[in-house]
Structure 1
Amino acid sequence: MIGSGRVRGFAAAPDVVAHLGIPFGEPPFGLLRFAPPRPVAGWSGVRDCTRFGPVAPQSAVIDGLPRWRPGEVDVLTVNVWAPVGARGLPVLFWVHGGANAFGSGAQRDFDGTALARRGLVVVTGNHRLGFEGFGHVAGFPDNRGLLDLAAALRWVREEIAAFGGDPALVTAAGQSSGATSVACLTGTGLLDRAILHSPPDLRFTPAEAAARFAGFPLDTPAVTVAASDRAGATYQPVLEASPLSGVPDAVPLLLCHTANEEPLFTEPVRALAARHPRAHLLRFAIPPARHNDEIAYAFGRREDTRLRDAWVRFAAGGDPGWGSETVLG
C-alpha cells in the first residue's frame, strides 16, 4: 500500500519482488504538457504493476529500446525491485542516459534484479525527454525533465519504505546525460549520495536556450517530438553555471569513466574528483572499455561482480572499497 493506492507486483526471481510502471505523476499532456509535474491522483482497488509503463515521447528509433507510440500518455512512472522481506535497505535510484533525448527506465539493461539480490532496493523510471523535457518554451519552466526526476525522487522519499527501502539512505546514480542530471539534483536534499558515470559538463544558458528553440512549433505532440531531430544536437539542462560546478562538498560521490571514451566524458569527471573532498574515482579498463560498457557490469549482466559490489558498498556505507582513485581492469 502506497499513498496513491494499492499495487500488485510479481516475483522477478525467487528472492526478488518487482513492481513496474507505478505512476508518480499525472500524464504530462494537454494542459500539463510543458507544466511542472503534478502528483498522481489516487486510484481505487489494486493497480496491476507487472508491466513497464510507456516510455516518454522521443523521436529516436533504436533497436532494442522501447519505443513511444502516439496515444501513450501515462509516462511518468517508476519501477521497483526489492528483496523478499526487505526492510530498511539502502535505495539505488537509477537515471538512464541518452543525450536527454532517448531512453527509458524500462530498458532490459537496467533490470534491477541482480542489484536487489545484493541487498539494495532499486528504482528506475521515466522522465520527459527532448523538446518536451528540455526545450525552452516561453511562459513555462525550463528543465522539465529534471523537475520530473525531482518528483520521482520525492516519491522515493515518501513511498519507498513500503517496498522495504530506507527513505533516508537514497543514492542516485546515472550514466552520461543521466549522470549530469543526477549532478544537477545533488543540491536538492532529495538524495544522500551520488554515483556519476561519465557525466558531460554541458548546459545551455537561459539566453542560449531561448535563442536555440525560438520558433519551434508547439501545436501537436507529433510535430514537437519530430522537432528534436531538427534541433541538430543533444538537449542540455538550462543553467547559469555548469552542472558539475554545483555539486555540494557534503554529498559523497562515486565517480567513474571508462578507459576508451572521449575527453568530453573523462575530463569533467576527473576534474570533479580532483576538487571534491568526498569523491572516489574509478577508471574502468575492462576491454573494450568504451562509453557505457561498464553499466552491464553494474547491473549484473556480466560475470565480473566487482563494479556491482562497489555500487552496493557505496550505497550502503558511502565507501566503494578504495580511497580516492583506483583502476578496474
Structure 2
Amino acid sequence: MPFKRSLVQRELDDSSSDDDDYMIFSAARIMHTYSNTKRSHGGSVLGHRVIYRDREGGHNRMFQDYLAVNPTYGPQIFRRRYGMSRELFLRIMNVVEAHDDYFVQKRNAANVLGLSCFQKVTTAFRMLTYGVPADATDEYVRIGESTTLESLRRFIAAVVDIFEDEYLRYPNETDTARLLALGEQRGFPGMLGSIDCMHWAWKNCPVEKQGQYKGHVDKPTMILEAVASNDLWIWHAFFGMPGSHNDINVLHQSPLFANLAEGTAPQVNYTVNGHDYTMGYYLADGIYPS
C-alpha cells in the first residue's frame, strides 16, 4: 500500500495539478494499474464530468492582454487591476516560480499542458485584490476552483518565505536613517512612519462570537494594525484583534514598542524647537497618546 501511495503521489507531483478533473482521472488510472483488485469498469471515475477549459488558449489571451510587447491593456490599467506595476508583478511571479515547483508549467499525467505560472499567480492576485470567491476567475483564467485555492495557499506561503525577512521586519539603523531623512524632507524630523488600524470584515464569524467582534462597524471584523512609510513599505503588522477594540487597545497589545522597551531599538537623534530627542515617533490620529 505505501508503494501504491508513493506512485500516486509522484505522478500527481509531476503533473500540473491543473484541476480536479485530470487529477482524479490520473489517480484513478494509476490505482487501477497497480491494484490487484479487479474492477468492473476502467478509465475515469464514474459519474465525474471532465471540463475542457482550453487552458493554453486562456494563457495566450491573458498574455496578449497584459504582458505582450503591445498589450491590449496598458500599464495604467495593469496597475489598477493588479494593484502594482507590471515590473513589480513580473518580479514577484518569477521569484515565486523559482521558489516553488508547483508554479512551473508542465504536462500532467494525460500529457496535457498545464496552467502557466501567470495563470496561477493571477488568480491568487485577483482573490487577494478583489476578495472574489475561488471560482470567480474560471471564465477568464481557465482554472478550476480547487486549483485556485491551492495556488492561493502556495502563493502566500512562497511570498512569506521569500520576502518576509526583507519587507516585514523592524527597521535597522540604515533603514531608520532613511526614514528619518524622508520625514525631515516633508517637515517631520524624527518621524518613522504612519500608524493606523483598519477593520477587515469576518463574513463567516460564528454567531456566539459576533458580539465580541463588532465595534463601530456594524458587522464582525478583525483589526489590522500597520506601520508604513510613504512608499508603502510595511514595517509592522499586527492582525487578529476583535473589532470591538479601538486603536489604542490594539496598540497596548501589539509588539510595536517591544524593542524600545527592551532597549534594543535603533537610536534616533533629532531636535525640534531647541529640544533634543532620542526617540522617534509615528504620525497617527487623535486617539493615540502623545
Larger Rg computed on CA atoms: 2
Structure with higher RCO (Cα < 8 A, 6+ apart): 1
Higher helix share: 2
TM-score of the aligned structures, taking structure 2 as reference length: 0.24
